[in-house]
Structure 1
């Protein structure tokens, strides 16, 4: 039973109690409005925050003491190759959640990710900005299109991350039907907001706690330019990053 199902049942129970005992009260409408408001807020949080596991289960931590870097929205020929260079230099492995349209334009970068020991994840074919509002058929098509593209390049993956981390009952049902497994995060770099590479590197060091899965974007210049400084500072502090064995472990965990 999902958290959404439990919350819906509790909401229905509360409304039933209000109707049964307080419908003649002068404050009935107020109490009913509060109940609806709380239900809506919880529902909205479930849609927007994948880590709450409200509609579907997602993995948001890695085995301690490792830290796992994940990159969304690539590949980008201006940034992803240098990110791969830096990861190789520091012997750090990551998961890249690629967008189908970009992977189709730059299959050589996706192949390089795989050859260098990283994992490829499905981030949908087009990264639709209103993914949470799509029908089940369109959600399924977005995921399957990219799966088909990856298979045409001999790449198999069961890892999936919805655009912007959206979650709802429709997405949850499609995920279950397709047998893909959701990887979330518990630390957000906000590299879309922090433009200064030095500040971003320092923020990433602060976020790198044992068991963290960090969300980054390999299509951003600031992520590219901060990565080497971040990994140097993190290793000086004794932070351990995911290696190939950790990635095998997280893959086995979700199978």
Structure 2
């Protein structure tokens, strides 16, 4: 039995109003996000498809993957997408002490000086991001408050593709997105090996739908 919601209910969003769930009433923009990369097996494919559709997105990266695959991370930045912190080791905030969780989040920043801004006038080409998404969507209120005091913006979502779920079909994954996306939606995908098969089926169709519906894919920025 699944333990997640495809569409984040409004009451959940109201319980945590300090977190960003969507950007309603926002000029037909939608916000594609990709968690858990970057990895050379999947992320470049995603970037190529986004370029083909002239779409921008936001990549919430695991610090250890950035360290292992700096060339892929640099490609994300070079192609004008925004990046966010997804902790260094993909930690579940509900299962770890707050001090250790925060330290792991901040460890992500230690590798960013290796990627200087490519253009001083472009916020989207600098990796010095203050966007943060908790792995599994799980963090305590205390952890959230500490990161916000340090200047982070906590980015959640209102549409979950569930591309990570091995128990659902690729058709169901596509349905999850197409039946819930609306203006201002923040949609979660994963540029990971676990999600690869579903992502390669779903993402091209979602991008075609977005174009036909008159939406514009925009990267999240502060």
Range of TM-score over shorter length:
0.7 to 0.9
How is 1:240-251 mapped onto 2 (pairs within 5 angstroms)? 240-243=215-218, 247=219, 250-251=220-221
Displacement after TM superposition at 1:231 (Å) = 1.2
- Bigger radius of gyration: 1
How is 1:51-66 mapped onto 2 (pairs within 5 angstroms)? 52=13, 54=15, 57-62=18-23, 63-66=26-29
Q: Secondary structure at the match of 1:175?
A: helix
| Partner of residue 67 from structure 1, selected from 30, 33, 36 | 30
| Partner of residue 234 from structure 1, selected from 210, 213, 216 | 210
1:152–1:178 Cα change, 3 Å = farther
| Partner of residue 178 from structure 2, selected from 205, 210, 228 | 205
Question: Does 2:148 align with 1:186?
Answer: no
Displacement after TM superposition at 1:55 (Å) = 5.5
Partner of 1:165: 137
Partner of 1:110: 73
1:232–1:242 Cα change, 3 Å = closer
How is 1:71-110 mapped onto 2 (pairs within 5 angstroms)? 71-110=34-73
1:91–1:171 Cα change, 3 Å = same
Q: Secondary structure at the match of 1:60?
A: coil
Displacement after TM superposition at 1:168 (Å) = 1.5
Q: Give the CA RMSD over aligned residues.
A: 2.3
Displacement after TM superposition at 1:207 (Å) = 2.4
Partner of 1:223: 199
Q: How many residue pairs align between the two structures? A: 198
- 1:177-213 CA-to-partner distances (Å, cap 9, x unmatched) read 3211111101111111265444433432222211111
Structure 2: where are the runs of 5+ without partners?
A: 1-7, 117-126
Question: Is contact 2:13-2:21 (8 Å) kept?
Answer: no
- With CA pairs under 8 Å and 6+ residues apart, which has the higher RCO, 1 or 2? 2
Determine which structure has the larger helix proportion and give its number: 1
Q: Secondary structure at the match of 1:59?
A: coil
**Which is worse superposed, 109-118 or 162-171?**
162-171
Structure 1: where are the runs of 5+ without partners?
A: 1-47
Partner of 1:136: 98
Could you tell me the TM-score, scaled by structure 2's length? Answer: 0.80
CA distance in 2, matches of 1:190, 1:200: 6
CA distance in 2, matches of 1:148, 1:53: 34
- 1:137-156 CA-to-partner distances (Å, cap 9, x unmatched) read 21221111101112332221
Question: Is contact 2:31-2:217 (8 Å) kept?
Answer: yes
1:75–1:185 Cα change, 3 Å = same
1:234–1:169 Cα change, 3 Å = closer
Displacement after TM superposition at 1:233 (Å) = 3.1
Could you tell me the TM-score, scaled by structure 1's length? Answer: 0.70
